[in-house]
Every structure is written in structure tokens, then in C-alpha cells.
């Protein structure tokens, strides 16, 4: 019975080390996420084909569809040699830039949320002894 308990402890320690290694990888990925702010050039209210859209509340798929449509408009305007065309008061390029920025912000948020969930799962998997050890270490660092 003692052998079984000893093996169980070794497995727990081995798992804890793997978990801590994975947690470091998550921390590295989190540090690489840049906090991109959405500072639009446009007023974010665009009217296309009789429908009105607010870039601030659209989901990723809708933003991509509008971006594709704007790109088609851009190509057509180039082919037709039309310049200075405004859509809802702004150039096609301004709209495309804002939508790309908004998509980037949404992707950053998705990545951050995904990493936060992974981190939580990893913390939950740590053994009780390792959790206590880490908490004691944190307290020691605060008291120094």
C-alpha cells in the first residue's frame, strides 16, 4: 500500500511540473497579446444596400462580409476610374481600415479569453499541495 501511495505522489509531482510548464507557456502567449484599442477614423455607422450597420456592435462574421463587400466596391471604383467616392461620408479605405482594426481587436479579445480559460483549467489541475506551496511562495514574496 505504501508503494502505491509513493507512486501516486510521484505522479502528482510529475503532473504538477507539466502543468507549471504549460502555465508558463500560457503566460508567454498572454504577454505577446497587445492591447490594441479601437480608435476609428469613421463614425462607425455605415449604410450598405439599404441596411445600416454599427461597427461597434457587429460580430466577426458580419464585419468580414462587409469588408469583402467594401473590397468589391473598391475594385469596381478602381476599374471605373472613379475617385473621391464617399460611402456614408467616408472613403472606402477609411471604412476598410476601421473594420480591419475592429477585427484585430476582436481577435485579441478572443485569444485573451481563450488563454484565461486555459490558465484556469491548468490551475484547477494542480495538486492541493502544489497550490499551497505556490500560495506560500506568493505570500513570502509580498512580505519581502
In this prediction, residue 7 carries a pLDDT of: 65
For the residues 43-60, what does the mean pLDDT come to?
A: 97
Per the CB < 8 A criterion, the answer to whether 122 and 22 are in contact is: yes
Per the CB < 8 A criterion, the answer to whether 26 and 119 are in contact is: yes
DSSP string, 8-76: HHHHHHHHHHHHHHHHHHHHHHHHH--------SS-SEEEETTEEEETTT--HHHHHHHHHHHHHHHHH
Record the pTM. Answer: 0.76
- pLDDT, tens only, 64-95: 999 999 999 999 999 999 999 999 999 999 99
In this prediction, residue 5 carries a pLDDT of: 56
Q: Which element (helix H / strand E) includes 5?
A: helix 2-32
For the residues 4-9, what does the mean pLDDT come to?
A: 59
Amino acid at each position: 500500500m505504501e508503494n502505491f501511495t509513493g507512486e501516486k505522489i510521484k505522479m502528482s509531482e510529475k503532473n504538477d511540473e507539466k502543468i507549471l510548464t504549460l502555465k508558463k507557456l500560457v503566460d508567454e502567449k498572454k504577454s505577446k497579446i497587445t492591447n490594441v484599442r479601437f480608435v476609428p477614423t469613421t463614425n462607425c455607422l455605415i449604410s450598405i444596400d439599404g441596411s445600416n450597420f454599427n461597427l461597434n456592435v457587429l460580430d466577426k462574421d458580419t464585419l468580414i462580409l462587409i469588408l469583402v463587400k467594401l473590397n468589391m466596391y473598391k475594385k469596381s471604383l478602381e476599374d471605373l476610374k472613379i475617385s473621391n467616392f464617399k460611402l456614408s461620408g467616408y472613403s472606402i479605405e477609411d471604412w476598410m481600415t476601421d473594420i480591419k482594426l475592429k477585427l484585430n481587436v476582436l481577435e485579441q479579445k478572443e485569444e485573451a479569453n481563450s488563454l484565461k480559460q486555459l490558465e484556469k483549467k491548468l490551475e484547477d489541475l494542480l495538486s492541493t499541495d502544489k497550490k499551497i506551496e505556490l500560495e506560500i511562495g506568493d505570500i513570502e514574496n509580498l512580505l519581502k
